[in-house]
Amino acid sequence: MNKAELFEQILAKKSYLCVGLDTDIHRIPDFLKSFDDPIFEFNKRIIDATKDLCVAYKPNIAFYEALGSKGWVALEKTLDYIPSDIFTIADAKRGDIGNTSRLYARAFFETMSFDSITVAPYMGEDSVKPFLSFDNKWVILLGLTSNKGSQDFQFFRENDTYLYQKVLAKAQEWGTAEQLMFVIGATHPEKFKEIRQIAPDNFYLVPGIGAQGGDLQAVSEFGMNDQVGLLVNSSRGIIYAGSGENFDESARNAALKVQQQMESILNTKFA
Amino acid sequence: MNKAELFEQILAKKSYLCVGLDTDIHRIPDFLKSFDDPIFEFNKRIIDATKDLCVAYKPNIAFYEALGSKGWVALEKTLDYIPSDIFTIADAKRGDIGNTSRLYARAFFETMSFDSITVAPYMGEDSVKPFLSFDNKWVILLGLTSNKGSQDFQFFRENDTYLYQKVLAKAQEWGTAEQLMFVIGATHPEKFKEIRQIAPDNFYLVPGIGAQGGDLQAVSEFGMNDQVGLLVNSSRGIIYAGSGENFDESARNAALKVQQQMESILNTKFA
């Protein structure tokens, strides 16, 4: 999916919601555990309940790896089940020396067929570039993350530049806004304005609303560009909104609430 | 395996060699491809051929993920096959927000039973600490990596401190030298002396000799501490030393060459 198509999807659905499929075997409803593949059953129902309300799904790979090869199977089945007009993000935060990053790219772009993968920047250019050499695939590079630990190194400062700013600037030498997004946490809403000056055209994947406390309104106000430019993620706040037999209805209601907020913001900005 | 036991193994085997199991389906000998699980067959023979010459094995997880669930099965079987007195490293370079890093830790320390995992520092304390909360398990944090891209961000400089130096110093507030190692690339041999001043007691995992061109002699001279403190990795230089039916003999000969160099260095320093 290219940038124009993503923008189109957002306008059509009046939503820039990404649903995080952080499916934890210890948190899914008990009744699902009698199925052959409880993780996939859970995801299937979440997808059925939310697919008209969101434009992206983002399985965090950790939750699948924690189950070993069985988890990997559940992930593959989940990816196959997601409708093809919805953008898919492997939240993997990978990154290694060049010949190895190429293998990770193969894993997520070829063996599986994700549209995008999150990548960690610490190892620099040759760890990121292999992911950028696939047609019609996206790198979502960690910029300023939503967690408390973002303070430890991302605000390391050379002269007037923070490390995360350097990452945003440097990475744009490696790929265009047609293939490169950034992770910018919703827990730093005051930073979005300044970050838009460094990376005006890129989409941002924004975690941290909901369970982590970020503010959708503020993020949208300061973070949007003329193609929206935001995919705002919610994981736990949606998929664990309910815990019984009707967990999927609860998830739908939670997603609907966010989508309606987004619709009202989009109506103001893209009337 | 604790630090004293690792030191003991090094002295007993006269080796601080780590063999990297970067097993690529496109590079293994053709005759293995008729087996049910060619990747595991390859690894099994490499392990049989080198287990008396090395103290650690390090599968790079990318090579297994690239094969999807089948690769994951091969990885699990390989880990089971490694003798229990050999240190195992999941070279995964993971790192995510706290609740997610915990899942990765579960994946590699519980679902599988690796002794250690490599972790990327960009997301800071809460992304690293969950890996440090397992008894008798190790975090190997990226410090100064061996690749060209290490220049891009690791040498970002605040006052007199480079980012990689900050990472080495800061991480020691999170864990002791009994549970925390650092990745320090052999391609920066001139840096080892200074790095030993920042992290005197930690073991370093040292990639970059062999295919990447680092120098074992220089690394050992400047990087050793009084418990050796080095695990020097070679992957491609050993496992792909030969390509025919006798690839395992070729691998043994390549490993033996490195081990003999190490024995001579150890004899000088630990007579």
Residues of B within 8 A of A145 (CB-CB) are: 97, 122-123
Asked if A69 lies within 8 A of B67 by C-beta distance, the reply is no
Asked if A97 lies within 8 A of B153 by C-beta distance, the reply is no
Nearest-Cα distance to chain B for A45, in Å, is 22
For A145, the closest chain B residue by CA position comes to B123
Angle between helices B38-50 and B69-81 in degrees, nearest 10 = 20
Q: Is the dihedral of CA A238, A243, A248, A249 positive or negative?
A: negative
Rounded mean pLDDT for each run of 10 residues along chain B, 271 residues in total? 97 98 96 97 98 98 91 95 98 95 95 97 98 97 97 97 98 98 94 97 93 84 97 96 96 97 95 77
ipTM, two decimals, is: 0.95
Q: Is the dihedral of CA B158, B164, B165, B170 positive or negative?
A: positive
Residues of B within 8 A of A153 (CB-CB) are: 121-122, 124, 163, 166-167, 170
pLDDT of residue A17: 98
pLDDT of residue A209: 87
Q: Is the dihedral of CA B10, B13, B15, B16 positive or negative?
A: negative
Q: Is B13 a catalytic residue?
A: no
User: Which H, E and C letters describe B17-31, residue by residue?
Assistant: EEEECCCCCCCCCHH
Distances (CA, A) of A25 to A35, A62, A63, B133: 12, 12, 8, 21
Which residue out of B93, B137, B148, B170 is catalytically annotated? B93
pLDDT of residue A148: 96
**Mean pLDDT of all residues belonging to chain B:** 96
Nearest-Cα distance to chain A for B267, in Å, is 33
Can you list the domains of chain A with their CATH numbers?
Answer: 3-269 (3.20.20.70)
| Radius of gyration for chain B, computed over Cα atoms and rounded to the nearest angstrom | 18
pLDDT tens digits in sequence order for chain A, 271 residues long: 999 999 999 999 999 999 999 999 999 999 999 999 999 999 999 999 999 999 999 999 999 999 988 998 999 999 999 999 999 999 999 999 999 999 999 999 999 999 999 999 999 999 999 999 999 999 999 999 999 999 999 999 999 999 999 999 999 999 999 999 999 999 988 899 999 999 999 999 999 887 676 799 999 999 999 999 999 999 999 999 999 999 999 999 999 999 999 999 999 999 7
Residues of A within 8 A of B125 (CB-CB) are: 148-149, 152
State phi, psi for A138 to the nearest 5 degrees.
-120, 145
For A22, the closest chain B residue by CA position comes to B100
Task: Pull the structure tokens for residue B269.
Answer: 């320093």
Task: Pull the structure tokens for residue A144.
Answer: 């300023």
B170: nearest CB among A63, A123, A152:
A152
Instruction: Indicate the DSSP class of residue B224.
Output: -
pLDDT of residue A68: 84
Q: Is B93 left (phi over 0), alpha (psi -120 to 50) or beta?
A: left
pLDDT of residue B211: 66
E-strand stretches of A111-219: 116-119, 138-144, 157-158, 161-162, 180-184, 204-206
Q: Whole-prediction pTM value?
A: 0.96
pLDDT of residue B271: 77
Asked if B158 lies within 8 A of A154 by C-beta distance, the reply is no
pLDDT of residue A211: 66
| Residue A37, C-beta contacts closer than 8 angstroms, at least 6 positions apart | A70, A73, A74, A77
Asked if A121 lies within 8 A of B122 by C-beta distance, the reply is yes
Predicted confidence (pLDDT) per residue in B146-193, tens digit:
999 999 999 999 999 999 999 999 999 999 999 999 999 999 888 999
Nearest-Cα distance to chain B for A154, in Å, is 7
Complete DSSP assignment for B184-209: E-TT-GGGHHHHHHHSSSS-EEE--B
Asked if A62 lies within 8 A of B94 by C-beta distance, the reply is yes
Residues of A within 8 A of B60 (CB-CB) are: 96, 100, 103
Among A93, B136, B120, which residue's Cα sits nearest to residue B128?
A: B120
Contact between B174 and B180 (Cβ < 8 Å) = yes
Residues of A within 8 A of B166 (CB-CB) are: 153, 156
- d(CA A101, CA A95) in angstroms, rounded, equals 6
Size of interface A-B (CB pairs under 8 A): 186
B149: nearest CB among A60, A124, A145:
A124
